[in-house]
Amino acid sequence: MKTQIVFEYKRILRSKIIWLVLCGLVILTTIPYFSLPSSDKGQLLSDYRMNQMSAQQGYDSLKNIPKARK
C-alpha cells in the first residue's frame, strides 16, 4: 500500500513539474516578442523602409549617368 501511495505521489508530482516546465518555456519564448514596444517596432520598420528607398533612389540616379552604365 505504501509503495502505491509513493508511486501515485511521484506521478502527480511529475505531471505538475511537466506542466510547470511547459508553461515556463512558453513564457520564456514569448517574452522577447512582447518586450519590444510596438512603437519601437514601427520606428525600426519605417527606418528600414526609408533606407531602402534612399538606396533605390541612389541606384536610379546612377542609371542616368552614361559612364556608370559601362
pLDDT at 69: 59
Residues 6+ apart with CB under 8 A from 68: 62
Give the mean pLDDT of 15-27: 88
Question: What's the chain's average pLDDT?
Answer: 81
Segment 35-64, tens digit of pLDDT: 766 667 778 888 899 999 998 888 777 777
Distance CA(11)–CA(19), nearest Å, equals 12
Q: Which amino acid is at 49?
A: R
Angle at the Cα of 29 from the Cα atoms of 18 and 27, rounded to 5 degrees: 55
What are phi and psi for residue 24, nearest 5 degrees?
-65, -40
Which grid coordinates belong to 68?
Answer: 556608370
Q: 67 or 18, which is more confident?
A: 18
pLDDT at 70: 58
- Asked if the model's pLDDT at residue 24 lies above 90, the reply is yes
